[in-house]
Structure formats: structure tokens, C-alpha cells
Amino acid sequence: MSQTQQQDETKDEALGFFDKPNNVKWILWVFYALCIVLVALDFVVHRHIYLDYEKIPTFYALYGFLACVLLVVAAKWLRLLIMRDEQYYDKNEEEKPFENEGSN
Amino acid sequence: MIEQQLSILLVVLPLLAAPIIAVINRSSIAWAMTLSVTVCCLIMSVWMLSGVVDGSVIHYELGGWAPPWGIEYRIDTLNGLVALIVCGIAAATALYAKRSVEQEIPKHQIPMFYCAFLLCFLGLLGICLTGDIFNLFVFLEVSSLSSYALIAMGRNRKALTASFHYLVLGTLGATFFLIGVGLAYGATGTLNMADLSVRLPQAVDTHLVNTAFALIVVGVALKAAIYPLHLWLPNAYSFAPSVVSIFLSATATKVAIYVLIRCLFHVYSVEYVTNTLLPQLLIVMGGVAVLYGSMRAIGQTGMRKMLAYSSVAQIGYMIMGIGFLTEAGLTASLIHLFNHALMKAALFMAAGLFIYRANTATFENIKGLGREMPWTFAAMVIAALSLIGVPGTVGFVSKWQLLQAALEENHWPMVVIILVGSLLAIIYVWKLIEVLYFQPREKMRVTGVASGSENIGRSPISMAVTLWILALSCIYFGINTELSMDTAKSAVEILFAADGGQR
Amino acid sequence: MWIANLPPFIPFFIGALLLPFLPNKARYFTLLIPILGGLNLFFGAQDGNWHVIKLLEFDVQIMRVDKLSLMFGYLFHIAAFIAITYSLHVKDKLQQTAGLLYAGSALGAVFCGDLIGLFIFWELLALTSVWLIWARRTEKANKAGVRYLIFQVLSGVLLLAGTLVHYQTTGSLAFDFIGLESVASWLIFIALGTKCAFPFLHSWLTDGYPEATPTGAVFLSAFTTKVAVFALARTFPGTELLVYIGAAMTCFPIFYAVIENDLRKVLAYSLINQLGFMVCGIGIGTALALNGAVAHAFNDVIFKGLLFMTMGAVLHRVGHVMGSDLGGLHKTMPKTTIFCIVGAASISAFPLFSGFVSKSMVMAAMIEAGHEYLWLMLLFASAGVFHHAGIKIPFFAFFAHDSGLRPKEAPTNMLFAMFFASALCIFIGTYPDLMYSLLPWENTYQPYDITHTLTQLQLLFFSALAFVWLNKMGLYPPELRSVNIDMEYLYRKMLPEIGRSTRKATSAFGTSGRLMFTKMVSYAPRMSKTSSYSTAQTAKRMAAILAIMLLLGYVTKMI
């Protein structure tokens, strides 16, 4: 396969399903709709309640959303603390043997 | 009884063969005779051990002179076991020796080499079998003198200095021992060990007895390369010809430890030793030896020197077991004596094969050699795992016993040291494996081999087979512990029996 | 036809022993080992203790069959089958042999009846698995393998020490409930905890697994940690401490997973997170909780294996799994993409997928036991696991921005293995009763009711919504080429640094000291060269020891 052909192919492919912004938009709209339906269901369906927290309307949805936002924000802060460059551990690893005594 | 005759035959056979070899002066015949003598001795020692394993004792009076005037050969389970180790390793070494010796020893010296080898073998066997302490000294000198000659035959010129140091120190050790024996004779008027053990407690002059004890222990400790007195060992083992380092590493120090056990528990009694502070000293020295030997082994740059330092550490385990002064401790020591002979011989054989191929065993020059010699490498790994104490190998059996003995006495620091020692062993064994298998192959630098020599191409079958026999026995005796365990237990029972083994 | 009560590790070991001597094609026959072995276990095993062998003075039971060991036995056969299928294309006998031995050791550990046997297989697990890392044959993998091995062997040494002390104090070697009471039990607890990747002891996992070969990681993810879970379920069920440890294990790795770039390392962190659920279940100790832990282990092996397989396929085709440099792979690897999504759905416990039916058991047991705050932590972890394993992995590897990579689809055998695992995930998720019937403890549990399904969907969808929102706002942390420091900092950076600086300090001190010493020595008469030094030294030492011994002898006589 020649170079140009390969490039052509990638160009053709570039119009794959997920590359069209409209398709992605559609998927997201369906997703939003499902989220709304799930929240709506929470008021229709009677849930079993075991704990006090669960009495809060749409507790699980709120918890899921907040948990993830919190997680990501915390992780971003964590990055400041623990992120190092990729060769971090490999530096300073060459060393001479400690003792060199006799041969054989 | 035929077993009685066997005991003397074991010594006489090599004693006769050695001068014959020297007279005939043909290398192939020399090897054939050595092999047949050692194999005969192996068979006889197995026979003999099977006769005494139940706790009976064989007496043989040399020249018909009854002890304590004449020299007596007295075999119980303990020396039966050690004699078996010596004979077994000697036979394996003899099988291995042919090609290795051909390559490493100048042709005209080969018959003399085998002659010295047999004399050394004879000396070590004699030490095991005799029941007379002065006779023991004589055999000690026979084995030492011949081993100086053997070590000096190493190709590296450092072998000469190594041998010379060993000679000076060995002579010092032997002298200490001899003075000790002399003092003991002065105190009791006898040289027969069984007789000594009866008369020493009754001796009037306790100072003489104590001094003799100290001198004997220090003299033997040097021969056994116990920690602060180990300095001769690394050089002697690493510069000797491969065959010699295999044989000596697996037997010489073991026999010296046997002498130590014999003197502590038989000639002197357990009660006597308990009242000195020697056991504590032995435990401490053993512990330090384990740590020191292992640390030094990690720092080495040559395979044989690493193994030699690891020997110092392993001797530490044995000394520790003796120092506990319990049946369990001594059993552990004896089992380790047997097991360590197997694994160290196998490891030195592997080193010998590398030397055969690459003409050296420094890490720099054997990089990646394991990939070219997978069979040798595999056998070496088995023996090395055994050195660490991986379950299923002999090393595990002895470490387990030793740990139990230490726990029984609540020697917690020693438990920790044994475990730390195993971890350190992992490090140096890993270093070896890493060099042999993981480091990229460099162009082999061959020195001192005629061009077109076929040695470089492949390892001789005889050497590889012997190595594998020992490696497999490392596994066999790790799973089937009947032989080592039962014999060791029976030997210890005799030593700890109320009569101190007088029979 | 079937061999009754054959210890299941034997076929694996025999296969591994024969394999190196057979031609390369023989590796296809290794597939028969888990199939026939599994069938033999199903038809031939009866409850009870079989086959006692004598080792030293101990009787080692190598075939102890009960419902718990059978459950793990089946699981490991399935896992071995998947992993062997997945690695059929590999022409490296080292890996095939190590894989067989490793699977066999895990089976041996699960079926052994006492602590000695457990120790032996425990060490074998360590010694055989490390080759799967070394088989990568890179400098980095070599070093990581050594670190991995040191941890594993240390765990074995602790187990041995614990076993010894336990034996000395109680005289029992039974591999049954021990409970945290004595020093011995703590030693055993820490030994098991090391293999189970307890917090602070976990770094071998996140350090070692990402360095394994593509196929090796699939083997690794299945066995070591699950054997540890099994052993904990045997020896420490109902230990309160485990609940807290487990909860911590579910939570801390997800922070790391969010910012980690190496996608296999993300999976390693999420493996710890899933282990946390199992450890919680064991800690609660009720029948429901223990069943939940075992069922979750069962499912986790399959879906975590599936995820490691998809990432392995990417690694196999692309050569790396750095999230920062992947994306858009769905175009040329559509099947792998689908399998990855199935795995992601399973691990995040979507209804109809396998994670749903087992994770909920642990959660329900948590409420029953009254640990409300810990339950909230687990819920947080459930949302988090969806976030990093369920969305991040498929999204950054197969979608996201187009990296321009156009690798080929994974090899057929890999696809088959992934298909099989995916089918199992969906089958267990839709028809959980079969798996429930295998569970060791008596309990009935119904995963599918309207409350549970709805709440789980809400949780997951709004976690996803958070992801979408954060991405739209540009708040989501980008994938960066980086290393995040974890516990391994202690031994990869801190200790070497300390060593270096002390050595520097001592060598500076030592040089001046040595100079002074040499100066002093030069005034003294010499014993010729260095060579005779050792002789003189030894002679001096002999004299010193002799003097000490005589002195001691004199002193003892005086006393």
C-alpha cells in the first residue's frame, strides 16, 4: 500500500460515525433524556428505604453526580502533590558496584 | 563381622592406590583408578552406614592391639554419615574430574594430581573413622598437606599465595589442636577418645583440661572456617582448580565440623560444654557469620568467590545449631552438613563448567552464558534455590529444622537472623541468575585455550551428568528426608545418651 | 472415566513439565488441561479430605474438597481456560510453562487442607508468576519483577513465620478459622494481606502488573489476589478490622486511577478497588456478605480478566497503553471495543451485567451490619469505579480524540477468549441463579428488584453525566505522560536516596579517617604486603579467641 493511498483511507475514515458532530450530539441528547426519565421515575416509583439518607429525593442521582465531581477535583489536587515526570524512578539508578575484590 | 573389615578397608584402599598411581604415572589410568577407588569406598560406606544406623557401634582394633594402647577405629552413626558424605562427594567429583582436570592441569602433573586427591580423600576419611585423637591429628595433617598441594595447582598464580596462606594458617590450626591433644594426654594419660571421655571428668588438674579444651576448639575452628577465622577460605576455594574447590568445599569444612562435634559432645561431654560459655559464643559467631558471609557474598564479582563467602554463611548456620546444645539443634546442624555438601558441590560444579567453557568465572566474563548453557544453568538454579531454602529442596529441610530448634529455645534474634540470611541469599543468588541469564551476551573472551579447541563449543557429558545427579539429589533429599533425618536423629541420640555414647 | 479426587494442580504441573520438551505446536493441547481438569473436578470430586502426603514430620493434605474450595476451583479452571486461549498465539514456551505452573499453584493453594501446604503453594505462586513479568524481557520489567518477587517472597516468609509460631503455641496446622488474637495470627494476617494488596502493602500490584506481558497480565489478574481472598475467607471471616481495611481499599485507588496514564495501571488500581469489596464482605462475616465476597471474586476474575485482555490486545497491536497517546481505536478494532464496553459495564455493575449481581450482595450486607458511613464509602467507590474503569478506559483508548493509530483487529484466539469472557459476564448478569447455587453458604438473595435497579441506574447515569459535564467545561484532568508516586516511593526513591546520602557522608568521613589511619600505620613496622595481612590477622584472631576462651573458662570456674 503506498503512502498516498493510506492517507486517502484515513481521510475517508475520518467521516466515521463518531466523527460527525451531529451524531455525537444525538447520542448526548438521548443520554440527557434518559437521565431525566430516571429522575422522574424516582418520584413515581416507591423505593424501599433502609437508611435515612435514602429519604432525600433522588439521593442516588445526586450522590453519583457529586461523588464524581468531587473525585475529579480531588484527583486534580492530588496531581499537584504526587505527579512526577515519567523517568522519575529511573534517574540515578546506574551505580558502581560497592566493592570490588579480587577476581575469579 | 564384615563391617569391621570395611572400616579399615576404606582407609587402606586409597592409601594403596595413591602410590600406585604415582608410580604408573599415566593420566588415564590415574583417573580410572581414582574413580574406581572412590566408587568402591562409596559402596562400602553405604554398607557400613546401614550397619550402624540402628545405633550400634563398630570397633576395629588396628594390628590387634586393644585400646586404649592400640589405635581403634570406632564407627557410630555420626561418623558413618560423615564418611558417606565424603565418599559420595569424592565419587561424584572423580566422575566429574576427567575432562575438567585435563583442561586445567598441565598434562605431566595429572597423575600426581590424582595421587594428591586420593591422599586428601584418605585423610578426610581417616579423620571420620578413627577413634584415636592423635591418629585423628595425623589424618588431619595428611588431608591438609595434600590439599595445600592441590590448591597450589590452580592455574591462576594467585593460587600459590592462597595455598601458602592456607598452609601457614592450617599449620597454626593443627598446632593448636596438637598442643590441645598433648595437654589432654598430660591430664589423662590416654589418647583414645572413648577413654578420654571417661577420664577427663575425673582429671585432677582442671586448668590443664580447660586449656586443652580451648586449644582444641580454636584449632578446629580454624579448619572449619568459623567466622572470625575464615579468612583463608575464600581465596583457597576460588583459586584452586575447579575439581579441588568442589571436593574441598563440600567435604573439608564439613569434616572439621564433625571433629568439633566429636570433641564437644563425645570427648568432652554436653554437661562440660554447657558450663563453659562456648555455646553462647558459638551462637553469636554463627549469627554473625550468617550475616557477614551473606553480605560479603553479595559484594563479590566472581562466582566462585561468592560461593565461598556463602559457604562461610552456611557454616554459620551449622555452628548456630551446635551452639543451641539441644538435640533439635544438633540434628539441624547434621542435616545441614549433609545438605550443604550436596548443594555446594553442585554449585561449584556449575562454576567448573562455566570455567571449562569461558575459562573464568568472573561475572564480567560469564554474562549471558546461562542462555548458551541452559542445562547447566537449570541445574545451577535448582542448587541455588536450595541454597535459599525454597520448599521442596534440601535447603528448606535444614532451615526448617534450624528454625524449629531456635524457636524451641526461644532464641528470637537467631530466628530473625536465619530469616534475614535467607533474604540475603535471595539477593546474591538473584545476582548470579541475573548475570548468567538476563545480561546481554558479550563476545566471549577466551584466554589460555589453543585456537580451534573444541572446549568452547560444548560442555562434556560426564561433567553435566554429574552436576545433574547432584542437582536432582538436592530435590530428592528435599522431599524424601528419611535418610538424612533418620541418620542425623540416631547420631544425635547416641551423642546425647546418658552414657555419652560409650559402647 | 473420571479420576476421583485427583488434586487439580497435578494435570497443570504435568503439562508444564512436558511442554518444554514438546514441539511448539503442542501448546494448542494445553487448552485441554483446564477443560478436562475442570470436568474432572466437577464429576470426580467428593466433599472431604483426600490424599495426605508426608512431608518432614507433617501430614500435608493436598485435596480438601468443600463448597468454598470447589467454587474457587471451578473459577480458576475457567480463568485458566480463558487465559490460555488468549495466549495461544504466543510462541514463547517460558510464558506458557510459567502460566500453567502458576494456574496449577493457585489450584493447589485452594485445595490444600493445612498451613504447610498453603505455604508451599504460596511460595510457588510467587516463583512461577514472576516469570510472566520477566518474560517481557525489558530492563524495566526485569527490575519491576524483582521488586514484585521480593514482596511476594516476604509475604511467604511472614506466612512461614506465622505458621511456625502458630504451630508452636497451638499445636495445630489446620487451615481454618484463626482469628486475630495472637502474634502468630497477626503474622499470618499480614502475610495474606500483602498478597491481597492491603493499603500500604499494595504497591507490588500496581508496580508489577503493568509491566507484565500482554498475556501475562491476564494470568496475573486472575490468581494471586484471589487466592489471598480465598485464604482470608478461610482464616479470618468476620474480623471487624477487615471491614475498615476493605473500605479504604475501595476508595483510595480510584483517586490514583483517575489521574493515571498507563491504562493497565488504571486497571491494577481498580483491581485493588474491587478487592476492597471482597475484603469488606469477608470482614462483615455474615452468610450474605461472605457469599457476596466469593461471588464478587468469581465475577471479578472474569470481567477484570476481560478488561486486561482488551488492554492486552491494544498493547499487542499498538505497543503501549498510554491514555495520552491512544484514541479512536474503535475504527479498526471494533470487536475489541465492544468487548471492552461489556467488561466496563460489568465492572461498574450495570444491571444485566455480572458485577451487578455480586457487588450488591456486599452492599446489602453492609447495611444489614449497620455500617452506614462505610456503606456511603462503598457507594462512592461504586460511582468512582464506573468513572475510571467504566468510562475512562474505553473512552480514552477507543474513542476520545483520534490519535491516528490504525492498528489491526486483535488475533482470532484473543477475540475468542474475549468473546467467551464477555458471554460469561452477560450470562451471569442475566441468569445469576446458576452461580448463586454454587455459593458456599446458605442464603437466598434476589438482585433484581425495582428499587435496586433504579437506584443503581441513577447512580451510574449521573456519574456519567458528571463526566460529560466536566469534559464539556474542560475541567476534566487531561491524560498526561507522567508517573504518580505511590507507596513504592519508599523503596524506589527514599531508601536509595538515604543510602546514597549516607554513603556519601560516610565516605567523606571514611576518606579522612582512612588517611589518618594509613599515616599511623606507616609508622608501624610492616608485615610485607597486603597478602600476608590476612595470615597475620587470622593468627591474631586465633590468639584473641584463645585468650577469651581461657579467660571465660577461668571466670566460669571462679563462679
C217 and C180 housed in the same domain? yes
Asked which of A86-90, B339-343, C79-83, C225-229 is least confident by mean pLDDT, the reply is A86-90
- How many separate helices (H) and strands (E) can be counted in chain B? 20, 2
C175 and C316 housed in the same domain? no
Give backbone dihedrals phi and psi of B362, rounded to 5 degrees, phi first: -75, 145
C96 and C203 housed in the same domain? yes
Instruction: State the average pLDDT over residues C328-347.
Output: 91
- The grid cell for C3 is 479420576
Residue in chain C closest to A79 (alpha carbons) equals: C259
Residue in chain C closest to A9 (alpha carbons) equals: C406
Interval B360-400: pLDDT, tens: 788 888 888 888 888 889 999 999 999 998 888 898 989 98
Q: How many domains does chain C have?
A: 2
From C136, C299, C130, C110, select the one nearest C220 (Cα to Cα): C130
Between CA C245 and CA C248, with CA C246 as vertex, the angle to 5 degrees is 65
From C125, C133, C31, select the one nearest C417 (Cα to Cα): C31
C327 and C404 housed in the same domain? yes
Residue in chain C closest to B212 (alpha carbons) equals: C550
B105 pLDDT more than 60: yes
- The grid cell for B340 is 550443604
Q: What is the 3-state secondary structure (H, E, C) of C471-502?
A: HHHCCCCCCCCCEECCCHHHHHHHHHHHHHHH
Q: What is the pLDDT of residue B69?
A: 76
C221 and C349 housed in the same domain? no
Residue in chain A closest to C387 (alpha carbons) equals: A68
Among C181, C210, C236, which residue terminates a domain?
C236
Interval C520-553: pLDDT, tens: 655 544 433 334 457 777 888 888 888 888 887 7
Interval B209-240: pLDDT, tens: 888 988 999 999 999 999 888 888 888 888 89
C549 shares contact with chain B (CB less than 8 Å): yes
Q: Do B302 and A98 touch (CB under 8 A)?
A: no
C212 and C291 housed in the same domain? no
Distance from the first to the final alpha carbon of chain B: 17
B25 shares contact with chain C (CB less than 8 Å): no
Asked which of A88-97, B218-227, C49-58 is least confident by mean pLDDT, the reply is A88-97
Neighbours of chain B (3+ CB pairs under 8 A): A, C
Q: Considering the domain boundaries, does residue C377 fall inside one?
A: yes
**Residue C213, Ramachandran bin (φ over 0: left; ψ between -120 and 50: alpha; else beta):** beta
Among C414, C449, C478, which residue terminates a domain?
C478
B431 pLDDT more than 90: no
Residues of chain C above pLDDT 70, percent:
95
What CA–CA distance (Å, rounded) separates B310 from C276? 43
Asked which of B91-95, C95-99, C179-183, C458-462 is least confident by mean pLDDT, the reply is C179-183
Mutate to test the interface with A, among B239, B295, B300 (most CBs of A within 10 A): B300
Confidence of residue A94 (pLDDT cuts 50, 70, 90): very low
Q: Considering the domain boundaries, does residue C1 fall inside one?
A: no
C183 and C94 housed in the same domain? yes
Q: What is the pLDDT of residue B450?
A: 54
From C283, C168, C198, C197, select the one nearest C235 (Cα to Cα): C283
Q: Considering the domain boundaries, does residue C5 fall inside one?
A: no
Among C236, C267, C291, which residue terminates a domain?
C236
Q: What is the pLDDT of residue C282?
A: 94
Diameter of chain A measured on Cα atoms? 85
Mean pLDDT of chain C: 87
Q: Considering the domain boundaries, does residue C113 fall inside one?
A: yes
CB pairs under 8 A between A and C: 146
Neighbours of B32 (CB within 10 A): 15
Q: In b/e form, how buried is each residue of B316-332, taking b as 16+ CB within 10 angstroms?
A: bbbbbbbbbbbbbbbbb
- The grid cell for C86 is 488468549
Q: Are the CB atoms for C185 and C162 separated by under 8 Å?
A: yes
Concatenating the DSSP letter of every residue in C156-219 gives HHHHHHHHHHHHHHH---B-S---S-SHHHHHHHHHHHHHTT-TTS-HHHHHHGGGS-HHHHHH
Q: What is the pLDDT of residue C547?
A: 87
Q: What is the pLDDT of residue A8?
A: 44
Q: What is the pLDDT of residue C504?
A: 81
C212 and C340 housed in the same domain? no
Q: Do B301 and A98 touch (CB under 8 A)?
A: no
C188 and C268 housed in the same domain? no
B455 pLDDT more than 70: no
Q: What is the pLDDT of residue B74?
A: 86
C88 pLDDT more than 70: yes
Instruction: State the average pLDDT over residues C174-203.
Output: 90
Instruction: State the average pLDDT over residues C342-371.
Output: 91
C430 pLDDT more than 50: yes
Classify the complex by whether its ipTM is higher than 0.85, answering yes or no.
no
Instruction: State the average pLDDT over residues B303-321.
Output: 92
Interval B235-280: pLDDT, tens: 888 889 999 999 999 999 999 999 999 998 888 888 888 877 888 8
**Minimal Cα–Cα distance from C557 to chain A, Å?**
44
Interval C291-302: pLDDT, tens: 999 999 999 999
Q: Considering the domain boundaries, does residue C287 fall inside one?
A: yes
C508 pLDDT more than 80: no
Q: What is the pLDDT of residue C192?
A: 94
Q: Identify the domain containing residue C200 by its residue range.
A: 11-236
Mean pLDDT of chain B: 86
Q: Are the CB atoms for B37 and B14 separated by under 8 Å?
A: yes
User: B163 versus C510: which is more confidently predicted?
Assistant: B163
Mutate to test the interface with C, among A11, A70, A71, A93 (most CBs of C within 10 A): A71
Q: What is the pLDDT of residue C520?
A: 61
Q: Do B400 and C56 touch (CB under 8 A)?
A: yes
Instruction: State the average pLDDT over residues B448-456.
Output: 53
Q: Considering the domain boundaries, does residue C303 fall inside one?
A: yes
Confidence of residue A24 (pLDDT cuts 50, 70, 90): confident
Q: What is the pLDDT of residue A3?
A: 45
Q: Which residues are paired to B61 by β-bridges? A: B72
C62 pLDDT more than 90: no
Confidence of residue C118 (pLDDT cuts 50, 70, 90): very high
Confidence of residue C312 (pLDDT cuts 50, 70, 90): very high
Instruction: State the average pLDDT over residues C249-271.
Output: 91
C232 and C243 housed in the same domain? no
From B230, B284, A81, A93, select the one nearest C139 (Cα to Cα): A93
C141 and C257 housed in the same domain? no
Instruction: State the average pLDDT over residues B401-422.
Output: 89
Q: Considering the domain boundaries, does residue C292 fall inside one?
A: yes
Q: Considering the domain boundaries, does residue C441 fall inside one?
A: yes
**Minimal Cα–Cα distance from C469 to chain A, Å?**
9
Torsion of CA A22, A23, A25, A29, to 10 degrees: 130
Distance from the first to the final alpha carbon of chain C: 77
C226 and C251 housed in the same domain? no
Contacts 24+ apart (CB under 8 A), B56-59: B56/B503, B57/B501, B57/B503, B58/B1, B58/B3, B58/B4, B58/B7, B59/B4, B59/B131
